[in-house]
Chain A
């Protein structure tokens, strides 16, 4: 996904791949006009289901926060950033329902099939935002 978006999006858009602890994102998106976040989700929907969530005005719902004793979720990081006034004006989260979360290097076909439509959606939203400036 990142490879495709790097090729397809204008140079003014940074495409970053990150893993691990998500509060680090708060520094990464500093100064950005808009940010699109893509992550795996586990909500019980069919594998490959795409969830689009506009977090610009409100925090992700509680059920998507998944806080732990030891870790912050993406949703909590968005909520903290908003509380600190450190959220870009536009924040969109794309969640792709995962199928397998055990060790392995390949995506399952259902999840892999969600990559292209999510890329297209992000490309379209970037185009719209650029055109609307």
Chain B
């Protein structure tokens, strides 16, 4: 007779600041009958907060949504405002934006790869335990983060929440001589990142793959960071302005965060795995070789191996930053003039954890009438739930504590942004 039992895995909120998050998986017999990921999403509050503010305030206000990826918010915001006002920021002004973004990628990926995700693979409860057992690994993370911080400080004017970004460009552009000292740090960062690729490629990965629809920005001549069309592994290829025609956000009763889905096909995955799958051939030489050595191919669909892709992207960010610095020429003016005009505009950039979409409507005075922000964690939320379902179904034989750990690890594959979309938590297993 089939065993009849119900097992419930749920999380208990450990709220650090506002809100809380939780995960809930119910297992009945050999079937996962329910998966709910409940997350809180400050962007909703920010959308209301933005209405009535000046269009030039959007980058600084939205940067406050996340302490890990403020540049992503700033870049999507300035892109949308410049779109409304019919201004294109190109040349070295745009190159500096890409450089700033490289700093954020290095910083964010280093934190996640070494200090948040690696402990899962190595059997440590946290980076604190990892630091005790293998301090070198954590020291590397801190060195990489320091380099990312340095880029943010020199280009953005401050390590966290850069203050130098404005609609139209910058308040002040760095002298070439100010960027030169970044080179040795970035060269060292590239070496550490190459080691990180080798280190992560040697981890043991749960066997799990899904036929995801992978969604990322893409363009012909460079790896996507600050602009591009929105493309997918299933043939989607649209202008950012057409986002709302193809993607929709829905309320689900168990989460404050909206669930995104493709109108026609449902869930999708954005982030490093998607970027790599769709633009692997546009990586820098060093990053491409490192990926090949690590055994990555654009056909990679194991979400646990996203830790390897993040490491490859750290190599890329260091090499791209070095290229941008080598080619830098001080622009004549720190910004182009932007006059407000009534309209709707769109911005989308690649936050470290996936595409971040902004849409604004402003009036002729430049007052924001409406704002919509879709962070990557909202976009991945359905896929995270589907992965949890799939991973748990394949691992029902595991004891509760191991299954719980595997669930946490599965969620961390997406580097979900607590500041943007959730506050996390430890998982607890209950049987009934």
In the complex, what residues of A have CB within 8 A of residue B161's CB? 19-20
Pick the contact of A20: B14, B67, B126 (CB < 8 A). B67
Q: Across the two chains, which residue of chain A brings its CB closest to B117?
A: A69
**B424 CB, min distance to chain A CBs, angstroms:** 4
CB-CB contacts of B114-149 with A at 8 A, as 1s and 0s?
011000000000111001100100110110011001
Q: Which of B206-214, B231-239, B391-399, B408-416 contacts A (4 or more CB under 8 A)?
A: B408-416
A80 and B424: CB pair below 8 A? no
**A40 CB, min distance to chain B CBs, angstroms:** 8
B138 and A80: CB pair below 8 A? yes
**A53 CB, min distance to chain B CBs, angstroms:** 16
Q: Which of A7-15, A21-29, A108-116, A117-125 contacts B (4 or more CB under 8 A)?
A: A21-29
* B418 CB-CB contact with A under 8 Å: yes
* B160 CB-CB contact with A under 8 Å: yes
In the complex, what residues of B have CB within 8 A of residue A79's CB? 128, 131
In the complex, what residues of A have CB within 8 A of residue B116's CB? 69-70
Q: Which of B15-23, B254-262, B282-290 contacts A (4 or more CB under 8 A)?
A: B15-23
Q: How far is the CA of A111 from the CA of B301 in the complex (A)?
A: 49
B16 and A69: CB pair below 8 A? no
Contact A68 B160, CB 8 Å, known A23-B145, A27-B146: no
Contact A80 B131, CB 8 Å, known A67-B126, A73-B16: yes
Q: How far is the CA of A85 from the CA of B139 in the complex (A)?
A: 11
A71 and B160: CB pair below 8 A? no
* B417 CB-CB contact with A under 8 Å: yes
A69 and B418: CB pair below 8 A? yes
A84 and B138: CB pair below 8 A? yes
B interface: dominant SS: helix
A71 and B419: CB pair below 8 A? yes
B18 and A80: CB pair below 8 A? no
* B112 CB-CB contact with A under 8 Å: yes
Q: Across the two chains, which residue of chain B brings its CB closest to A41?
A: B16
Q: How far is the CA of A57 from the CA of B160 in the complex (A)?
A: 29
Q: How far is the CA of A21 from the CA of B104 in the complex (A)?
A: 12
Q: How far is the CA of A49 from the CA of B374 in the complex (A)?
A: 37
* A83 CB-CB contact with B under 8 Å: yes
In the complex, what residues of B have CB within 8 A of residue A103's CB? 45-46, 49
In the complex, what residues of B have CB within 8 A of residue A70's CB? 68, 112, 116, 415-419, 422, 424
Q: Across the two chains, which residue of chain A brings its CB closest to B159?
A: A24
In the complex, what residues of B have CB within 8 A of residue A72's CB? 111, 115, 127
- Give the one of A20, A23, A69 with max B CB within 10 A: A69
Q: How far is the CA of A102 from the CA of B139 in the complex (A)?
A: 34
A24 and B17: CB pair below 8 A? no
**B36 CB, min distance to chain A CBs, angstroms:** 16
A83 and B424: CB pair below 8 A? no
In the complex, what residues of A have CB within 8 A of residue B415's CB? 69-70
Pick the contact of A80: B14, B127, B160 (CB < 8 A). B127
Contact A67 B14, CB 8 Å, known A27-B142, A84-B139: yes
In the complex, what residues of A have CB within 8 A of residue B423's CB? 68
**A95 CB, min distance to chain B CBs, angstroms:** 12
In the complex, what residues of A have CB within 8 A of residue B49's CB? 103
In the complex, what residues of A have CB within 8 A of residue B408's CB? 69
Q: Which residues of chain B have a CB within 8 Å of any CB of chain A?
A: 14-18, 45-46, 49, 67-68, 70, 107, 111-112, 115-116, 126-128, 131-132, 135, 138-139, 141-142, 145-146, 149, 159-161, 408, 411-412, 415-419, 422-425
Residue pairs across A and B with Cβ atoms less than 8 A apart, 16 shown, are A18-B159, A21-B107, A42-B15, A68-B16, A68-B418, A69-B116, A70-B422, A71-B16, A72-B127, A80-B115, A80-B127, A80-B131, A84-B131, A84-B135, A103-B45, A103-B46
Q: Which residues of chain A have a CB within 8 Å of any CB of chain B?
A: 18-21, 23-24, 26-27, 40, 42, 59, 66-73, 76, 79-80, 83-85, 98, 101-103
18 other A-B residue contacts (CB within 8 Å) besides A70-B417, A71-B16: A19-B160, A19-B161, A20-B68, A27-B142, A27-B149, A42-B17, A66-B15, A68-B425, A69-B116, A69-B408, A69-B424, A70-B112, A70-B116, A70-B416, A71-B419, A73-B16, A83-B128, A84-B131
